[in-house]
DNA sequence: GAGGGTTGTGGAACCGGTTCTCCAAACAAA
DNA sequence: TTTGTTTGGAGAACCGGTTCCACAACCCTC
């Protein structure tokens, strides 16, 4: 039988309330302190978390809503979150939504019902339903990757990242290119990243760019390849590494050499980008995860933006001149 | 203010106990059933999970102990687990241990303290401390990937997988090869996989194989490459895709062509194996995760072994004759 | 030495459910 | 009409903590 606070109190010859005070840092005389100390050590007493939560209406759980569990950025961010949380004595509760908005909302309510101490939301987009749920449940929420008025968020500066990468490829002499992006419903990746990229292009002269849209999977990118018009193009800029990887597979199969025949870039710096020699933009996912955990637990602390992304130069971009 | 069972009872004009019975399928007359039904709908009443758990000494949480969050096999297995759990009304609690045995043990106790309904343990190995913890905490535990007497487990048939892959490369005419494995402390990958592979080799004639040991990271494999003696070898068999990928990077940088100059194989069928054209052994991680969740929740159900692994033929193995 | 502060402790109420015991009403059988 | 048997529901106790309040003991001060 598990020992309870009443057992401890009995063995130490004091009242429950005294033991509770001892545990929570209230005043207790040195003498009783020692007695309780001893009993707790002997019995290996550990408080029952429900009983605590029942009164406190709070848990040591932090919920994370994630659109895809098996994604490089997600799992690395998760790792960062978990590290921080563990250090602060919190546990990680996960809900994988498989990119379904309904399930995101449902998870939000479900977490709230479990009285989690906070929620980290890695949404694909923030809809009206999201906002309603966020307002209704009274739990600190932090959105990672997507921002929206009235919702605390931690976002990468995707506009800048896009701009920087475009600057780089322009510097390499590329003027005729293809940009393969994703739906603008995804503000961070679909909108900001592209906007930054295009802004740099507009500042340059004699630039032509064709746009194609796909989703986040490697397979879709791979399939899309055949509808691309490569005529005269020297570079394919992809909104994510996965897209770039899909393209590279297609390129490889057709004997088109990188960067000899065509250059390619990605965003994200997935682990494989290294072996594939893909020039891409590195995002500090793990640090961001830690920061997110920190922020959701202690919202009053100064809002910090995530560490900056930076270009990783590999060999998939040809220097033309 | 959140509505409680007492509120519902008050509004419906019945006692708490009656509402509780209504909720838990005890007998209630049609008349009162209707009244309570209505009140619950009006107030959107949802039971407080702590109060329930406090009495029941059980939660709807299932803990997963995982050595590395950012690994392909882990995240895919996790996905499978989460899917099944969600369907059964359970939540996923995760503890990333960063390959630390101490943290695995600690997580076990911590989960037990939270009264999780079950624990899925993806251990790197099962030590005496593991066994002690498993015995002490009275929670259903299922070990994935590693097996040990007295511990319910779900393991791939790695011996067979190793054997099958070796049979295949032998059939392709390879006789001089290198096997890059990991520590035998990892029974599944380090021991069984290798043993199966070697068993097939022993059944053939005139076979030579050199063994090298590394860890699970791509980087270590990449660094190991330089100490390999490739003289006369036609194939490198790697115990994981990550190892193979590290090798392929080194190979590529040195201009050694695959499979023209040398063949290579992996185990795991990570997502990138596809683009890289790596011939490897596919493991049904997601299905295994679902099965694990199922088994840990309903241990009495017949023990099933996980779906079989199978070779995925790509182009990293040369057919010699 | 009576009045006024501290300090430490015990007791009881409370959090929001579940479950056990007991009782009342309804109906059937004698 | 009396007795026996269901059936449905009320009430209280309980799960294991936290917190509020009252009170006793002690020290200080005028």
The pLDDT profile of chain A, 321 residues, written as one tens digit per residue, is 689 999 999 999 999 999 999 998 778 888 888 999 999 999 999 999 999 999 989 899 999 999 989 888 999 999 999 999 999 989 999 999 988 999 999 999 999 989 999 999 998 888 999 999 999 888 999 999 888 888 899 999 999 999 999 999 999 999 999 999 999 998 999 999 999 999 999 999 999 999 999 999 888 999 999 999 999 999 999 999 999 999 998 998 898 999 999 999 999 999 889 888 899 999 999 999 999 999 999 887 656 677 789 999 999 999 987
Distance from C-alpha of B117 to C-alpha of B58, rounded to nearest angstrom: 6
For residue B248, what is the nearest residue in chain A, using CA coordinates? Answer: A275
> Structural domains in chain A?
5-47 (1.10.260.40), 58-154 (3.40.50.2300), 158-283 (3.40.50.2300)
What is the helix (H) or strand (E) element at residue A18, kind and residue range?
A: helix A16-23
Quick check: helix, strand or coil at residue A67?
coil
Q: Which of B64, B73, B91 to probe by mutation at the A interface, max A CB count within 10 Å?
A: B91
The two tokens of residue B80 are: 């499978």
One pLDDT digit (tens) per residue for chain B, 321 residues: 689 999 999 999 999 999 999 998 778 888 888 999 999 999 999 999 999 999 989 899 999 999 989 888 999 999 999 999 999 989 999 999 988 999 999 999 999 989 999 999 998 888 999 999 999 888 999 999 888 888 999 999 999 999 999 999 999 999 999 999 999 998 999 999 999 999 999 999 999 999 999 999 888 999 999 999 999 999 999 999 999 999 998 998 898 999 999 999 999 999 889 888 899 999 999 999 999 999 999 987 656 677 789 999 999 999 987
List B residues 205-264 in contact with A (Cβ-Cβ < 8 A): 218, 245-246, 248-249, 252
**Interface check A204 vs B, CB under 8 A:** no
Q: Is B29 exposed, middle or buried (0-12, 13-18, 19+ CB in 10 A)?
A: exposed
Q: What does pTM read for this prediction?
A: 0.89
Do B212 and B179 meet the contact criterion of CB atoms below 8 Å apart?
yes
CB contact under 8 A, B54 and A51: yes
* Contacts of range B199-205, beta carbons closer than 8 Å, 24 or more positions apart: B199/B159, B199/B162, B199/B163, B199/B166, B200/B162, B200/B163, B200/B164, B200/B166, B200/B167, B200/B170, B201/B166, B201/B170, B204/B170, B204/B175
SS3 state of residue B121? strand
**Pairwise CB contact (< 8 Å): A82 & B70:** no
CB pairs under 8 A between A and B: 119
Measured CA to CA, the distance from residue A287 to residue A281 in angstroms comes to 16
Grouping H, G, I as helix, E, B as strand and the rest as coil, residue B271 is helix
The kind and range of the H/E element at B186 are none
Query: B73 vs B63, B70, B274, B315, CA distance in Å?
Result: 18, 9, 15, 22
Three-state SS for A24? coil
Quote the DSSP letter at residue B170. H
The span from the CA of A309 to the CA of A165, in Å, is 10
């Amino acid at each position: 039988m598990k020992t309870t606070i009443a057992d401890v109190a009995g063995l130490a010859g004091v009242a429950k309330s005294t033991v509770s005070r001892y545990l929570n840092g209230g005043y207790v005389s040195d003498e009783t302190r020692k007695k309780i100390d001893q009993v707790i050590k002997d019995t290996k007493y550990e408080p029952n978390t429900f009983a605590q939560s029942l009164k406190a209406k709070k848990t040591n759980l932090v919920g994370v809503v994630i659109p895809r569990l098996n994604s490089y950025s997600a799992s690395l961010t998760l790792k960062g979150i978990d590290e921080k949380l563990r250090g602060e004595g919190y546990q990680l509760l996960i809900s994988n939504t498989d990119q379904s908005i309904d399930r995101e909302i449902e998870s939000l309510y479900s977490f709230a019902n479990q009285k989690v101490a906070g929620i980290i939301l890695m949404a694909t987009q923030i809809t009206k339903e999201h906002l309603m749920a966020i307002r209704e449940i009274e739990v600190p929420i932090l959105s990672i990757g997507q921002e929206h008025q009235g919702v605390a968020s931690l976002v990468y500066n995707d506009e800048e990242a896009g701009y920087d990468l475009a600057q780089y490829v322009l510097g390499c002499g590329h003027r005729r290119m293809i940009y393969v992006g994703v739906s603008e419903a995804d503000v961070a990746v679909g909108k900001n990243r592209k906007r930054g990229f295009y802004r740099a292009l507009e500042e340059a002269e004699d630039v032509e760019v064709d746009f194609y849209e796909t989703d986040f999977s490697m397979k879709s990118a791979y399939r899309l390849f055949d509808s691309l018009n490569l005529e005269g193009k020297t570079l394919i800029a992809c909104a994510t590494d996965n897209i770039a990887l899909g393209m590279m597979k297609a390129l490889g199969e057709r004997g088109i050499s990188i960067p000899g025949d065509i250059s390619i870039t990605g965003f994200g710096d997935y682990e494989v980008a290294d072996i594939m020699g893909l020039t891409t933009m590195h995002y500090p996912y793990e640090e961001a995860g830690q920061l997110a955990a920190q922020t959701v637990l202690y919202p009053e602390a100064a809002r910090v933006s995530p560490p900056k992304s930076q270009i990783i130069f590999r060999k998939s971009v040809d220097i033309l001149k």
